[in-house]
Amino acid sequence: MLLHDESPAGVELRESSYVLGTYARTPFHPREGKGARLADAEGKIYWDLLSGIAVNALGYRHPAILRALREASEGLLHVSNLFFHPWQGILAERLVAGSGLARAFFCNSGTEANEAALKFARLRNPGRSKVVAIEESFHGRTFGSLSLTGHEAYRTPFAPLVSGDVVFVPPNDTEALEKAVDGETSAIFLEPIMGEGGIIPLSSKFMQTASVLADRHGALLVCDEIQCGLGRTGKLFAFEHAGIVPDMVTLAKPLGGGLPLGAVLVGPRVEDLVKPGHHGTTFGGNPVACRLGVALLAAIEEERLLAKIEALGAWLESELAPLAGKHGILDVRGMGLMWGIELDRPATPVMKALLAEGFVVGTARDKVIRLLPPYIVPKKALQEFVKALVKALENTSSSNS
Ligand SMILES: Cc1ncc(COP(=O)(O)O)c(C=O)c1O
Does 288 lie in the same domain as 214? yes
CA 140 – ligand 1 centroid, Å:
5
Compute the Cα dihedral for 225, 227, 231, 233 and give only its sign: negative
Q: What is the pLDDT, as a whole number, of residue 23?
A: 96
Does 261 lie in the same domain as 290? yes
Q: Give every CB contact of residue 279 below 8 A, 6+ residues apart in sequence.
A: 105, 116, 119, 120
Q: Domain of 32?
A: 24-54+304-395
Q: Give every CB contact of residue 57 below 8 A, 6+ residues apart in sequence.
A: 51, 230, 231, 232, 254, 257, 296, 374, 375
Does 250 lie in the same domain as 352? no
Does 147 lie in the same domain as 106? yes
User: Is residue 11 a part of any domain in this protein?
Assistant: no
Choosing from 268, 287, 302, the residue where a domain stops is: 302
CA 30 – ligand 1 centroid, Å:
22
Does 238 lie in the same domain as 384? no
**pLDDT for 276-326, tens place per residue?**
999 999 999 999 999 999 999 999 999 999 999 999 999 999 999 999 999
Does 35 lie in the same domain as 82? no
Q: What is the pLDDT, as a whole number, of residue 401?
A: 45
User: Is residue 129 a part of any domain in this protein?
Assistant: yes
User: Is residue 3 a part of any domain in this protein?
Assistant: no
Does 376 lie in the same domain as 345? yes
Does ligand 1 have an atom closer than 6 angstroms to the CB of 224?
yes
User: Is residue 5 a part of any domain in this protein?
Assistant: no
User: Is residue 217 a part of any domain in this protein?
Assistant: yes
Choosing from 248, 282, 302, the residue where a domain stops is: 302
CA 335 – ligand 1 centroid, Å:
19
Specify the CATH number for the domain of residue 156: 3.40.640.10
User: Is residue 174 a part of any domain in this protein?
Assistant: yes
Does 235 lie in the same domain as 358? no
Does 132 lie in the same domain as 42? no
Taking the C-alpha atoms of residue 109 and residue 194, their distance in angstroms, rounded to an integer, is 18
Q: What is the pLDDT, as a whole number, of residue 400?
A: 45
User: Is residue 8 a part of any domain in this protein?
Assistant: no
**pLDDT for 8-17, tens place per residue?**
999 999 999 9
CA 136 – ligand 1 centroid, Å:
13
Which ranges of the chain have pLDDT less than 70? 1-2, 399-401
According to DSSP, the residues that pair with 132 across neighbouring strands are 167, 188
CA 56 – ligand 1 centroid, Å:
14
Q: How many domains does the chain have?
A: 2
CA 108 – ligand 1 centroid, Å:
11
**Atom number, ligand 1, closest to the C-alpha of residue 260:** 10
Asked if 335 and 306 count as a contact pair (C-beta separation under 8 A), the reply is no
CA 137 – ligand 1 centroid, Å:
10
Does ligand 1 have an atom closer than 6 angstroms to the CB of 46?
no
CA 227 – ligand 1 centroid, Å:
7
Specify the CATH number for the domain of residue 370: 3.90.1150.10
Does ligand 1 have an atom closer than 6 angstroms to the CB of 226?
yes
Does ligand 1 have an atom closer than 6 angstroms to the CB of 247?
no
Does 256 lie in the same domain as 380? no
CA 226 – ligand 1 centroid, Å:
6
Does ligand 1 have an atom closer than 6 angstroms to the CB of 305?
no
User: Is residue 83 a part of any domain in this protein?
Assistant: yes
**Atom number, ligand 1, closest to the C-alpha of residue 191:** 1
Q: What is the pLDDT, as a whole number, of residue 2?
A: 63
Does 343 lie in the same domain as 281? no
**Mutate-to-test residue for ligand 1 from 226, 233, 250, 363, highest number of ligand atoms within 8 A of CB:** 226
Does ligand 1 have an atom closer than 6 angstroms to the CB of 293?
no
Choosing from 302, 326, 346, the residue where a domain stops is: 302
Does 176 lie in the same domain as 40? no
**Mutate-to-test residue for ligand 1 from 253, 281, 365, highest number of ligand atoms within 8 A of CB:** 253
